[in-house]
């Protein structure tokens, strides 16, 4: 009987031939399943959020433990296979999938344990934001995560991670206390401020370049269970007033208040008056986790009667999932964004015009207020670059896969070029596209890039972990 030969993409982009016996041998080392195309669970394992991503691995390992991860990493390294790691699969660049290679689908490791007395959450690498929020909010606690509850915790955190609590408590990566990680030698280890501090520094913002994290330990804070948040919108012909108010609001905002300016076509949602469906609006999205809500939101109230106003008290978990319906899986996504050092008055009309140009039924444009704890720099800071940034702004082009998105992509790129003169020169690594080059990745790590390259050379000299926004060994 002839032995079946599988062609798998190698680290150099060529093909590596694996026999069925070699693949079966890997399977015997695993507690979790080893999948090939057609197996039960395959389609879900290779599905990611951005429908523009068409990469498909040859093999998928769905680990049940850190031991499984170690076995798969050793197998990939021994055979020179292209290797990727899928947490939630929400990364826009599609780095969760190794095209023709071996993908680790971490969705089987989705446990959350809350240590209330120590205010710590131990989080599995397959967890989504909703898993962590629900578990921690049972105790009135939270850590810094993102805005869409179906986002994967792992990818968000390793790239920095910001959300409604960033101005109070820093990047998601800043709130890490420890990671358990499998490095390129296939050996599980722990890293924190005392053990392998260089590795711990690097994973706090350096993405998946240094290994596969099999457990995150986050610091928790008293938040909720009720906050004030939501969104209010006005007709786009009042965009100048809305953006000026946003500038005023963010100039005096306490760290408990996070605000986002949004320009888009109003969705055909029940809370939007029917006559305003798919017409351009300017909106303000807010989350206030403190107490002086009315005085802090006074500038917003001065805008007068909105088209709709969903701002009020609500459970923190409801705030965290509020825009989920606007970010479903299976749509084509094309983003461009820049960090801004401030919000000068002359930026606002540039952004307004570009945002109205981008506007289409599913697309949107944003200005997000950073600042606060994100700008706090001390000797314990992780590898997140561009810590001087006080805003992030950009354009999100979104359309159904069956539609022609060429015009939307062109509009996003035009808008991006118009705002680039206002940039710090840096950008957020988690918002990068597959098309972005190494220079743009380096710009995402302004202030930390060369140190990251040296640590990469120490822990992954052969660049086994390269299916990511890659930092080459220095």
**Successive 10-residue mean pLDDT values, the chain, 474 residues:** 76 94 96 97 97 97 98 97 97 96 98 98 98 98 96 98 97 97 98 97 97 98 97 98 98 97 96 97 98 94 95 97 90 98 97 98 97 80 92 98 97 98 97 96 95 98 97 95
Model pLDDT for residues 199-247, shown as the tens digit of each residue: 999 999 999 999 999 999 999 999 999 999 999 999 999 999 999 999 9
Which pTM value belongs to this model? 0.96
Same domain flag for 294 and 355: yes
Range of the domain at 21: 5-108
Cβ atoms 248, 299 nearer than 8 A: yes
Q: 329 lies in a domain?
A: yes
Q: 463 lies in a domain?
A: no
Q: What does the alpha-carbon distance between residue 333 and residue 327 come to, in Å, rounded to a whole number?
A: 10
Residue 27, domain CATH: 3.30.43.10
Element (H, E) at 35: strand 34-35
Residue in this structure with the two tokens 């080459």, named with its chain if needed = 472
Residue 203, domain CATH: 3.30.465.10
Same domain flag for 199 and 286: no
Show Cβ contacts of residue 265 under 8 Å, excluding neighbours closer than 6 positions. Answer: 278, 279, 280, 281, 359, 360, 361, 363
Same domain flag for 266 and 401: yes
- 222, 244, 274 — which closes off a domain? 222
Q: What does the alpha-carbon distance between residue 165 and residue 289 come to, in Å, rounded to a whole number?
A: 8
Strands 102-105 and 59-61: parallel
Cβ atoms 370, 341 nearer than 8 A: no
Q: What does the alpha-carbon distance between residue 321 and residue 344 come to, in Å, rounded to a whole number?
A: 31
Q: 459 lies in a domain?
A: no
Cβ atoms 139, 181 nearer than 8 A: no
- 202, 222, 242 — which closes off a domain? 222
Residue 340, domain CATH: 3.40.462.20
Same domain flag for 166 and 78: no
Same domain flag for 395 and 340: yes
Cβ atoms 452, 383 nearer than 8 A: yes
Same domain flag for 275 and 353: yes
161: which 2 tokens? Answer: 């991670």
Q: 348 lies in a domain?
A: yes
Same domain flag for 427 and 345: yes
Same domain flag for 179 and 246: no
Q: 139 lies in a domain?
A: yes
The pLDDT, as a whole number, for residue 1 is: 41
Query: Considering only CA atoms, which of 290, 289, 298, 281 is closest in space to residue 245?
Result: 298
- Helix, strand, coil percentages (3-state) for the chain, rounded to 5, are 30, 25, 45
Same domain flag for 327 and 342: yes
The pLDDT, as a whole number, for residue 266 is: 97
- 69, 87, 108 — which closes off a domain? 108
Q: 366 lies in a domain?
A: yes
Q: 175 lies in a domain?
A: yes
Same domain flag for 239 and 130: no
Same domain flag for 386 and 328: yes
Cβ atoms 365, 376 nearer than 8 A: no
Cβ atoms 86, 108 nearer than 8 A: no
Q: 204 lies in a domain?
A: yes
Same domain flag for 16 and 52: yes
The pLDDT, as a whole number, for residue 459 is: 98
Model pLDDT for residues 169-209, shown as the tens digit of each residue: 999 999 999 999 999 999 999 999 999 999 999 999 999 99
* Number of structural domains found in the chain: 3
């Amino acid at each position: 009987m002839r032995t079946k030969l599988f062609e798998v993409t190698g680290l150099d982009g060529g093909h590596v031939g694996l026999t069925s016996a070699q693949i079966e041998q890997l399977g015997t080392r695993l507690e979790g399943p080893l999948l090939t195309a057609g197996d039960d669970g395959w389609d879900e394992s290779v599905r990611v959020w951005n429908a523009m991503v068409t990469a498909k691995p040859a093999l998928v390992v769905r680990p049940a433990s850190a031991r499984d991860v170690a076995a798969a990493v050793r197998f990939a390294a021994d055979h020179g296979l292209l290797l990727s790691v899928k947490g939630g699969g929400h990364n826009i660049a599609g780095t969760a999938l190794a095209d023709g290679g071996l993908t680790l689908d971490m969705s089987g490791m989705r446990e959350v344990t809350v240590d209330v007395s120590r205010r710590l959450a131990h989080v599995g690498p397959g967890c989504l934001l909703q898993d962590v929020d629900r578990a921690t909010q049972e105790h009135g606690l939270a850590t810094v995560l993102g805005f869409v509850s179906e986002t994967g915790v792992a990818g968000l955190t390793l790239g920095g991670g910001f959300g409604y609590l960033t101005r109070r408590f820093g990047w998601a990566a800043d709130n890490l206390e420890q990671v358990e990680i499998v490095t390129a030698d296939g050996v599980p280890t722990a890293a924190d401020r005392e053990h392998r501090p260089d590795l711990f520094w690097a994973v706090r913002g350096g993405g998946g370049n240094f290994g596969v994290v099999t457990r995150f330990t986050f610091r928790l804070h008293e938040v909720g269970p009720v906050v004030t948040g939501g969104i209010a919108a006005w007709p786009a012909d009042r965009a100048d007033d809305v953006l000026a108010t946003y500038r005023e609001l963010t100039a005096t905002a306490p760290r408990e208040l996070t605000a986002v300016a949004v320009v888009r076509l109003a969705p055909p949602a029940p809370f939007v008056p029917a006559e305003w469906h798919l017409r351009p609006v300017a909106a303000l999205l807010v989350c206030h986790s403190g107490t002086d809500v009315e005085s802090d939101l006074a500038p917003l109230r001065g805008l007068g009667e909105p088209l709709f106003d969903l701002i009020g008290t609500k459970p923190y978990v409801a705030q965290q999932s509020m825009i989920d319906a606007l970010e479903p899986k299976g749509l084509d996504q094309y983003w461009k964004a820049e960090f801004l050092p401030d919000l000068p008055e002359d930026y606002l009309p540039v952004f307004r015009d570009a945002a109205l140009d981008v506007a289409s039924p599913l697309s949107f444009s944003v200005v997000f207020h950073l600042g606060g704890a994100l700008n706090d720099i001390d000797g314990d800071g992780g590898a997140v670059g561009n810590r001087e940034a006080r805003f992030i702004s950009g354009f999100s082009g979104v359309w159904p896969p069956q539609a022609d998105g060429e015009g939307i992509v062109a509009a996003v790129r035009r808008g991006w070029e118009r705002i680039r003169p206002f940039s710090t020169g840096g950008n957020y690594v988690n918002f990068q596209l597959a098309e972005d080059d190494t220079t743009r990745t380096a710009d995402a790590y302004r202030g930390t890039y060369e140190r990251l390259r040296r640590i990469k050379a120490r822990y992954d000299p052969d660049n086994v972990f390269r299916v990511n926004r890659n930092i080459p060994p220095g």
